[in-house]
C-alpha cells in the first residue's frame, strides 16, 4: 500500500517527564475555520448531521485522523492505540473526542463509517466529505494528503498521511502524533494537555 509522506517537520518534545512527546510546531496549524460534512448517527454525538468544524468541545480535546475503513494496518492500529491511551486517563477519558475524516468516501458510506468508529469509541464524529474539493480543503488545513488509485483489475489502492492531530477549543493543533507514537506517548500528551487546561 502506498503511503503519502508523514508530516514530521517540527521538533518533538524532549521526552522528559511532563513534556509533550509528539510533534509540536512553533506556529500551530489553525484548523478551526474549516469544516466537513458530519454523518454521525451512532454513539454519543449521533444526530449531528451538519458541517463539523474542527474545534474541541469546551473542556475537551479533539483527536483528528484521516483514514478509511478498509485500511489494513495504519488506521486500526492508530485508533486502537488511542482507545488504549484513553483507558489510562481515568475520568479524563470522557474529555477525549475522535473525529475521523474518511479519505475513501465512495466506499465509506455513513453506515459503514459509523459502524467502524463505534468499535473504538462512542465519542466520535464520522466525517464524510461530499466532494473532492471538500476533502482537499480539510486536508490542506492539516497539511495532510491522500490518493486513490483504481486499478484495471478492479482493486483499489488508497494512500494517506498517517499523523493524528490533537485540536483544542480554539481550533489549534497543539500536538501531532506520527504513526507508531503508541498508546503511552498518546496518554502522556493528553495528560499533559489536560493538566495545562486545568
List the grid coordinates of 19: 513534556
Q: Which tens digits make up the pLDDT trace of 29-73?
A: 999 999 999 999 999 999 876 899 999 999 999 999 999 999 999
Is the pLDDT at 13 greater than 70? The verdict is: no
- Residue with the three cell numbers 524532549: 14
Residue 30 maps to a domain? no
Helix or strand holding residue 148 (H, E): strand 146-150
Residue 121 maps to a domain? yes
Q: Distance (Å, rounded) from C-alpha 53 to C-alpha 43?
A: 18
Residue 173 maps to a domain? yes
Domain extent at residue 184: 35-197
**pTM given for the model:** 0.89
DSSP state of 37: E
pLDDT of the residue at 18: 63
Residue 17 maps to a domain? no
- Averaged over 120-143, what is the pLDDT? 97
Residue 24 maps to a domain? no
Q: Structurally, how many domains does the chain consist of?
A: 1
Answer yes or no: are the C-beta atoms of 90 and 126 closer than 8 Å: no
Q: Considering only CA atoms, which of 55, 76, 29 is closest in space to residue 125?
A: 55
CATH number of 77's domain:
3.40.30.10
Q: Considering only CA atoms, which of 175, 164, 143 is closest in space to residue 21?
A: 175
- The SS3 assignment for 157 reads strand
- Averaged over 98-114, what is the pLDDT? 97
- The SS3 assignment for 85 reads helix
Q: Give the mean pLDDT of the chain.
A: 91
CA angle in degrees (0–180, nearest 5) for 30-45-29: 10
List the grid coordinates of 86: 484513553
pLDDT of the residue at 198: 80
Amino acid at each position: 500500500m502506498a503511503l503519502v509522506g508523514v508530516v514530521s517537520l517540527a521538533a518533538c518534545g524532549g521526552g522528559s517527564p511532563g513534556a509533550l512527546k509528539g510533534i509540536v510546531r512553533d506556529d500551530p496549524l489553525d484548523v478551526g475555520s474549516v469544516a466537513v460534512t458530519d454523518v454521525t448517527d451512532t454513539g454519543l454525538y449521533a444526530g449531528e448531521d451538519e458541517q463539523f468544524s474542527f474545534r474541541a468541545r469546551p473542556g475537551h480535546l479533539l483527536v483528528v485522523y484521516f483514514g478509511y475503513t478498509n485500511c489494513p494496518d495504519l488506521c486500526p492500529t492508530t485508533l486502537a492505540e488511542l482507545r488504549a491511551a484513553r483507558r489510562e486517563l481515568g475520568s479524563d477519558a470522557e474529555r477525549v473526542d475522535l473525529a475521523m475524516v474518511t479519505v475513501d468516501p465512495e466506499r465509506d458510506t455513513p453506515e459503514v463509517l459509523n459502524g467502524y468508529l463505534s468499535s473504538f469509541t462512542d465519542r466520535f464524529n464520522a466525517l464524510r466529505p461530499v466532494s473532492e474539493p471538500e476533502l482537499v480543503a480539510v486536508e490542506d488545513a492539516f497539511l495532510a494528503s491522500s490518493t486513490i488509485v483504481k486499478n484495471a483489475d478492479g482493486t483499489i489502492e488508497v494512500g494517506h498521511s498517517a499523523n493524528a492531530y490533537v485540536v483544542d477549543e480554539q481550533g489549534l493543533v497543539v500536538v501531532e502524533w506520527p504513526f507508531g507514537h503508541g498508546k503511552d506517548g498518546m496518554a502522556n500528551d493528553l495528560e499533559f494537555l489536560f493538566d495545562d487546561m486545568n
